């Protein structure tokens, strides 16, 4: 649509079902590439993506033609189908229900990209649950403890 201009930057976070630590270094790059393709095919601009064994972060310039909930449904659904088709895990793979999506200004881009790209170093000091609760508090998002991601299960 002419005369429509947007600048929408969204940091998304989601976990493996029951936060099971199954995303392995041997295939995580292929997962990142696959999710990048999903996002780009839907008109979004990927700025950063990274994962830990039990969760994944990505940061996009959002295409307003697709809602955040639709973007997440497609990214999570198609990527779990890819993981299962490629048989990367012993059992059927699922992402946990829900996700976090947080808006950022243009001036925050560098900081968010660095934060996402330094996940492995960051998690030597902080668990995913601690990180997620900190993000919710930083963005002043009200939440109910019973809906926060379930506890980690070993891979």
With 0-12 / 13-18 / 19 or more C-beta atoms within 10 angstroms meaning exposed / middle / buried, residue 58 is buried
- Look at the pTM and tell me if it is higher than 0.85: yes
pLDDT band at 127 (very low <50, low <70, confident <90, very high): confident
What percentage of the chain carries pLDDT values higher than 70? 94
Mean pLDDT of 58-79: 98
Mean pLDDT of 92-113: 96
- Whether the per-residue pLDDT at 154 is higher than 50: the answer is no
Joined together, the tokens standing for residue 79 give 């990527």
Measure the CA–CA gap between 49 and 81, rounded to whole angstroms. 19
Mean pLDDT of 116-123: 92
The residue whose two tokens read 């048989």 is: 87
Position 128 scores a pLDDT of 86
Position 146 scores a pLDDT of 74
Long-range CB contacts (within 8 A, 24+) of 101-107: 101/10, 101/11, 101/12, 101/13, 101/68, 101/72, 102/10, 102/11, 102/12, 102/13, 102/135, 102/139, 102/141, 103/8, 103/9, 103/10, 103/11, 104/9, 104/10, 104/11, 104/59, 105/9, 106/7, 106/9
Position 74 scores a pLDDT of 98
Measure the CA–CA gap between 119 and 7, rounded to whole angstroms. 25
Mean pLDDT of 55-63: 97
The side-by-side arrangement of strands in the sheet containing 45-52 is 45-52, 55-61, 9-15, 100-104
Name which residue leads in pLDDT, 136 or 3: 136
- Whether the per-residue pLDDT at 59 is higher than 50: the answer is yes
């Amino acid at each position: 649509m002419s005369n429509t201009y947007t600048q929408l930057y969204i940091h998304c976070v989601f976990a493996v079902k029951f936060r099971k630590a199954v995303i392995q270094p041997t295939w995580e790059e292929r997962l990142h590439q696959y999710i990048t393709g999903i996002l780009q095919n839907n008109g979004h601009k990927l700025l950063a993506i990274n994962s830990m064994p039990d969760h994944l972060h990505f940061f996009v310039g959002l295409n307003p033609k697709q809602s955040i909930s639709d973007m997440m449904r497609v990214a999570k659904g198609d990527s779990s189908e890819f993981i299962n088709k490629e048989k990367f895990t012993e059992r059927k793979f699922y992402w946990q229900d829900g996700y976090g999506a947080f808006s950022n200004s243009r001036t925050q881009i560098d900081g968010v990209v660095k934060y996402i790209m330094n996940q492995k170093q960051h998690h030597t000091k902080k668990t995913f649950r601690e990180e997620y609760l900190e993000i919710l508090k930083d963005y002043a998002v009200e939440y109910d403890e019973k809906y926060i991601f379930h506890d980690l299960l070993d891979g």
